[in-house]
Amino acid sequence: MAFPGHIQKTNKRTFPVESLLMPQIPRGNYFHLQEEKQRLQLKKFLLHRMFLVATITPNTEKKDISDYYEQVFQSILKHHLGEAVTGFLLVYPTSILHILETSSGTLYRILLDYLNHKQNETEFFIQRMKIIVASHNIPTRLFMQWHVSVMKVPVMYLDDVTQTQSLEEVITEFLTQTHKLALHLLKTVKVGAKGPGDNLHQIAPELLIPEQIIKYLCKSEQFMDPETFIDMYNKPIHVTLDSDVIWPAPTYF
């Protein structure tokens, strides 16, 4: 029933202006996505993998090499908890192949310790080290712990591929064989075990990298040595603008 002179009011709901401006669907960004992935994987740091090759001085005790790296790892772990090192050290008669998986800061300290020994000692037993590959932010580890395997007997190879193949072909074979070896160890070595031992040349001889390839890569100038890597790591990013090299200098208003 309506009365004359009475204006019926309509029931209009008012919405705050902020609710119209705010998105109705929660939005994130790529950085938050990466943080969430790291949290779900229980990672405290981004994981990196580095492939190293080097020569060793004659009459070097192979145990001295493994003891050296174990001491370096323990020293770093005291100051950087949780940044454990996994990987594989393959010791040949005159050279080594080393794969490391850890954080970028730990890799930096491992290389820095090597440089300190090389500069302060007359003849450090590890020489001519080269960084073959550095893979950043890898999703998972290939190794559950750090293993050492010593080649006690020389392995004879009939063909020296370094004499007939290009550098690209040699490095392709190197990476292919290295990853096959890593996958083999991942499947066969149980967690907590000491590793493949010193009879790897009998267990999987077809997966071993010929030593002449290791020595060939150590001599190659195309790969970065630790000194250059450390210099690039410490060098700040600086971009020179065109206005910085114009003379006379322009006047800014």
Q: Which domains does the chain have, with CATH numbers?
A: 44-231 (3.30.70.100)
Separation between Cα atoms, residue 54 and residue 56, nearest integer Å: 7
* Alpha-carbon 167 to chain mean position: 22
* pLDDT, tens digit only, all 253 positions of the chain: 455 555 555 555 555 554 445 455 455 566 566 556 555 554 567 889 999 999 999 888 889 999 999 999 999 988 776 678 999 999 999 999 999 999 988 999 999 999 999 888 878 999 999 999 998 888 888 888 898 988 875 555 556 667 778 889 999 989 998 988 888 888 887 665 566 666 676 677 788 888 889 999 999 999 999 999 998 888 766 556 655 565 555 555 4
Task: Find, among 137, 231, 132, the residue nearest to 178 by Cα.
Answer: 132
pTM given for the model: 0.73
